[in-house]
Structure 1
């Protein structure tokens, strides 16, 4: 959209943000990159031209800072959160203050500041465990954890804030995979690839649970795509974004086959039997978005990054593992 020139991104220094910010800059947007930068402030060192980049270091719960820095932005992409259930459970009160309590004023401030478009990264975990073979956007939400419950409550609050001047859209991504400057190695495909390359062995917990996966380049492309859609098409809309639904054991076998290495796959029991098959036809049928990358691409991207020395100390450095970093920071 020609009227969207300046983008305010929360969680800019995170896994998806670290790839999204350079992509937005490449598209010619001015970017305000808000993050507390727990995982390092060097995340955009690889960006050559930073003339349109403003880094804003701060806590999402600091409403005064948001009131200072959001005005003049045309769109907000909200990525910031304590992500996934285990990280949330480390300190449920901290997680609630960031994931839910800070979300409400963020939406209000964005709207009051004249932001035209608000894109929210929710989660496919809001569905809970479904027996339906295809989990579509019109199924009832049955969040099983505080993490997913507050994601669902944020969706509801955002939808009620929509107006003729304030277009709101929710994305429900699946598990993201692949290489990014701020890398996570605590997500299924990335975990298995790291262990296959650097441990010579893949441990699969359970293995029969089905997981929907999404290449990080496609995740970034969704946000770029949404910024260009007509407001009438995406107002108050919710879209699943998760394409390759595979059992964890099938993903392990893909890792082994793609790398062409003779690694052992060891299966251990697990209490985590969440299994679901996310259907993402709606965004294709309504808007025409289709993904371009695969799990195999993600595995090969990670392999290339390991070989280039871009992922040092991948088994031990806490920056790759959200829970370890949060524990070590004793985040409050």
Structure 2
């Protein structure tokens, strides 16, 4: 199958591209290069690519593909809260534009990377895909809007599926240090203490980047009629954990580190546990392989192996800080577009 993978040089894309290649697909990437330099270790996302901002995609970019896997987005809550209008421009409007172009170009499958954070604050009950959507951030709201608007344009020739990923963790060549387990393992390694500013009680569903990639690979070949316009939570119930438990996993992985739950920011309203049974039923053989504890060990080993430093951790691998660095250097404008042709390629 010929697949266009947007955001192929990002945190998930750098893991997903090799997975798709290993499954025998013909993969072409599309990426603006915002995070092209955020590499720790070998870069494994070398596929033929289109250098383009997702907002500037044209019909010619979509011709000849059987499927689009759409990962490209502004991908965390602090960034969305800082610039909600840009978040909606990229995550919502550009995503809908991409879907319409894909439909017009005859692309049958459209796999969209959504998020379990669409459920917001759901309490103690396990939430299924039919649960009310209560997004609490611009990032989560943008994902809800895309699901609704792309569903509205689906038909017999254009079949979207929405994969609601749990909070990702795990090592990727294009590292992110601003997601919870990745961050806490890094803090433990660099300081010796895992500091939790909340009270540690909120629930989070976690899933390894490779298990996300495996879910997309499974969705790509699942019967179209069976998954048409469906949403699937991506993860495993075993990785529904509290923030305090995530901190303990980080401390266990990093020798001689301790946990300090300060509680200074109080309880976090984003708390939810997720039911993942639907994806196991829909995609035969799909079973996430990674536990939070194993992921913490993997992260620590790779941080040590590839020489993670505090400067890299807090600047290059923290999305918001990295974008501010590019803006300060005059490479990005206020809308997060590159100021000169070729910027972001290397």
The answer for the alignment partner of 1:202 in structure 2 is 194
The answer for the alignment partner of 1:246 in structure 2 is 241
The answer for the alignment partner of 2:344 in structure 1 is none
Indicate the larger mover: 239-248 or 168-177.
239-248
The answer for the alignment partner of 1:257 in structure 2 is 252
Question: In the alignment, is residue 231 of structure 1 matched against residue 224 of structure 2?
Answer: yes
Q: Provide TM-score, normalisation by structure 2.
A: 0.87
Distance 1:276 1:134 in 2: 7
Answer whether contact 1:314 1:320 (CA < 8 A) is retained. Answer: no
Distance 1:144 1:232 in 2: 32
Deviation per CA, 1:138-165: give whole Å up to 9, x if none.
1121222222222111001111222222
Counterparts of residues 158-169 of structure 1 (less than 5 Å): 158-169=150-161
The answer for the alignment partner of 1:57 in structure 2 is 51
Answer whether contact 2:235 2:288 (CA < 8 A) is retained. Answer: no
The answer for the alignment partner of 1:14 in structure 2 is 10
**TM-aligned CA distance change 1:47 to 1:178, over 3 Å:** closer
Deviation per CA, 1:33-77: give whole Å up to 9, x if none.
1111111268696449x5xx211111111133xx12211111000
The answer for the alignment partner of 1:268 in structure 2 is 263
Distance 2:7 2:215 in 1: 16
Q: Provide TM-score, normalisation by structure 1.
A: 0.91
Length, aligned pairs only? 323
Answer whether contact 2:151 2:160 (CA < 8 A) is retained. Answer: yes
Unaligned runs of 5+ in 1: none
Structure 1 counterpart of 2:298, from 282, 298, 301: 301
Distance 1:143 1:36 in 2: 27
3-state SS of 1:256 partner? helix
Question: In the alignment, is residue 36 of structure 1 matched against residue 25 of structure 2?
Answer: no
Question: In the alignment, is residue 135 of structure 1 matched against residue 127 of structure 2?
Answer: yes
Q: CA deviation at 1:313?
A: 4.6
Indicate the larger mover: 177-186 or 155-164.
155-164
Distance 1:35 1:216 in 2: 18
3-state SS of 2:204 partner? strand
**TM-aligned CA distance change 1:142 to 1:226, over 3 Å:** same
**TM-aligned CA distance change 1:308 to 1:161, over 3 Å:** same
3-state SS of 1:202 partner? strand
Distance 1:246 1:131 in 2: 13
Counterparts of residues 98-247 of structure 1 (less than 5 Å): 98-131=90-123, 133-206=125-198, 207-243=200-236, 244-247=239-242
Distance 2:38 2:120 in 1: 36
3-state SS of 1:185 partner? coil
Distance 1:170 1:239 in 2: 6
Distance 1:45 1:260 in 2: 25
Distance 1:154 1:41 in 2: 29
Counterparts of residues 315-330 of structure 1 (less than 5 Å): 316=313, 318-330=315-327
